Structure 1
């Protein structure tokens, strides 16, 4: 089984953008120990932008996409070498892996990425994974790589996701501003967090915050993977988390793990539109696990193509997410029609607007 560990920008670089050498030394020592014990480890790291900014004396994080991409390009080599050299002294081979959200959103690319990463692990290498900021075309998308680390845990079927940050874990309030804030040591049900204000404050170089870490933990938990948020600055915290001992905040895994395809659909494939359905269609989707037929469709929003993912809604309520068999214009044309009439208008059309095998409930 594989352990995925993620280091945020605040762990990798200090407030001046300089590498936190002592922290990386400690984390790599722990990874080396896990590796020597037979554990497969994949590391997700932020920090390229921070190191790139430092290399040319930028005082403030760029706001433009091209500025972020350029800073990442400047810092990525330094970042990878920091891990490569430290793990090499511990007899561990590393591999640099750069991914974009597109790589995970297209099913074939997703499967290819999984195959390549599993081969690296079979060869006993430790993948050092980062978002490929330099080629991302829309935005720096993964929220300080919290989302990417959860995606990687799902992709590899990891036994544990550990998110290393600069605080002890999730608290009842921001401990930097509220002295009464208490550490939440365990979350068995995310409904327990209702009413707790989870902030999105980040470091000068990061883009995540506690909110994105909790979202990543929830994603992993839903997939049957436990997660831990703990302080990467605390010596030995990764090993403690890996042993299942108390440290930081542990999020329990959901007892039923979903199939790989359903997890990919739920978390990796982007939504391109919305399809509204009537209450009867919503009920059979929820209660009977049936496919969505055109007769149950009442509205279409967005400019999606056949094969895209759409949200399925009933009124203001989200029912689920599915891969649609029609383009938006086609579905708008046949919404509310029975199957016999649909075949008259579109002779080569599929029977279902969304097949049940390509649908997940919200």
Structure 2
């Protein structure tokens, strides 16, 4: 849930809203369900504690506010859940934790153990150590990553409106809610998903839709629900389809590794390929050889992720882990495999192996 759910625009916590959410979490635990809560609010809690109005733009101000507010925010959740006989655990993650495979697997094991013990993890981004270059940006993306990480049965994204509308309901009285979305490419043409945020938040409806796209690609259905109405979350979790906007799971046949590569590992450069290589990657599922590379951008190392674009129209084709550094690949781009071996005798034959490439 975003900052607009946990706190009002003046920075004060929405006590009744959080009590209702924790009541539903406790009810789900009593029913035997595992529950993970991803919640913003540490920065707002810190700003409110210090009497600072508005949301600062300087990263050091946000980090300091988070350091002040995170413990206070978790204590609030902990007390609400403890009063309902539920044990909570504070878990702070950074983009680094999920963008490096070993850290990713360690985080998964820790969360699974907490769930095995019947504990409800309360997860937030570790804003105190995150930088403006390495950050989730908002908790919608983090929530989707966590859903994939723990192989959740569903993802529920709480917002301040009833779901995705055909237009902005605040300015268009004829706007209608969209109850189900299956076509993400056509979505922008029929729904209002602009970057509207609260005064203290960093996300918007667009980020929630992208989070839902991430989740459903992993086979996890998602819903965008009004978290300010106490009956909305229980109804959706009970199976109501006339509450919120629903995104059915999609069977894309993508492995957990490739989901991690697509959504969690940041790209450090761009590799542009010719039409033949693009066709082979897209249609035949082959590896990318240096002969098909036309240009290289960035200063990446072997093992870094890079995006793959088509030379003809610069269209994003996919993402992969480079076997060669940017400097090495520039030396051999356009060369046949035998020529590559002459230039780089000990290098891998493939610029990107097919097992480490995922289509966009």
2:102 is matched with 108
* Per-residue deviation, 1:257: 4.4
2:263 is matched with 267
Structure 1 distance, partners of 2:2, 2:274, is 44
Q: Please tell me whether residue 206 in structure 1 is matched to residue 204 in structure 2.
A: no
Structure 1's unaligned 5+ residue stretches are 1-6
Say whether the 8 Å CA contact 1:160–1:242 is kept in structure 2. no
Question: Secondary structure at the residue paired with 1:71?
Answer: helix
2:66 is matched with 72
The aligned runs of 1:16-27 (5 Å cut-off) are 16-27=10-21
Moved over 4 A (4+): none
1:85 is matched with 79
2:292 is matched with 296
Normalised to the residue count of structure 1, the TM-score between the two structures is 0.96
Structure 2 distance, partners of 1:223, 1:72, is 31
Task: Using the TM superposition, name which of 284-293 and 132-141 deviates more.
Answer: 132-141
Normalised to the residue count of structure 2, the TM-score between the two structures is 0.96
1:324 to 322, 325, 328: 322
Question: Secondary structure at the residue paired with 1:205?
Answer: coil
Say whether the 8 Å CA contact 1:94–1:128 is kept in structure 2. yes
Structure 1 distance, partners of 2:22, 2:133, is 30
Question: Secondary structure at the residue paired with 1:284?
Answer: helix
The aligned runs of 1:69-218 (5 Å cut-off) are 69-139=63-133, 141-195=135-189, 196-218=191-213
2:305 is matched with 309
Distance verdict in 2 for CA 1:191–1:298, change over 3 Å: closer
Structure 1 distance, partners of 2:170, 2:94, is 33
Structure 2 distance, partners of 1:241, 1:197, is 22
* Per-residue deviation, 1:141: 2.6
Task: Using the TM superposition, name which of 352-361 and 187-196 deviates more.
Answer: 187-196
1:239 to 200, 225, 234: 234
Q: Please tell me whether residue 279 in structure 1 is matched to residue 308 in structure 2.
A: no
Structure 2 distance, partners of 1:257, 1:94, is 34
Question: Secondary structure at the residue paired with 1:272?
Answer: strand
Structure 2 distance, partners of 1:93, 1:118, is 15
* Per-residue deviation, 1:59: 0.9
Question: Secondary structure at the residue paired with 2:327?
Answer: helix
* Per-residue deviation, 1:238: 1.9
* Per-residue deviation, 1:194: 3.2
Say whether the 8 Å CA contact 1:133–1:140 is kept in structure 2. no
* Per-residue deviation, 1:191: 3.1
Task: Using the TM superposition, name which of 193-202 and 271-280 deviates more.
Answer: 193-202
| More strand as a share of residues | 1
1:4 is matched with none
Task: Using the TM superposition, name which of 185-194 and 99-108 deviates more.
Answer: 185-194
Question: Secondary structure at the residue paired with 2:356?
Answer: strand
Q: Please tell me whether residue 224 in structure 1 is matched to residue 219 in structure 2.
A: yes
Question: Secondary structure at the residue paired with 2:295?
Answer: strand
Say whether the 8 Å CA contact 1:68–1:140 is kept in structure 2. no
* Per-residue deviation, 1:140: 7.5
Distance verdict in 2 for CA 1:289–1:257, change over 3 Å: closer
Structure 1 distance, partners of 2:280, 2:29, is 48
* Aligned Cα root-mean-square deviation (Å): 1.2
Say whether the 8 Å CA contact 2:114–2:120 is kept in structure 1. yes
Structure 1 distance, partners of 2:325, 2:78, is 47
- In the comparison of the two structures, how many residue pairs are matched? 356
Structure 2's unaligned 5+ residue stretches are none
* Per-residue deviation, 1:295: 1.1
1:359 is matched with 357
2:250 is matched with 254
Structure 1 distance, partners of 2:200, 2:44, is 5
Say whether the 8 Å CA contact 1:165–1:231 is kept in structure 2. yes
Say whether the 8 Å CA contact 1:160–1:226 is kept in structure 2. yes
The aligned runs of 1:38-77 (5 Å cut-off) are 38-77=32-71
Question: Secondary structure at the residue paired with 1:87?
Answer: helix
Structure 1 distance, partners of 2:32, 2:186, is 35
Structure 2 distance, partners of 1:110, 1:140, is 15
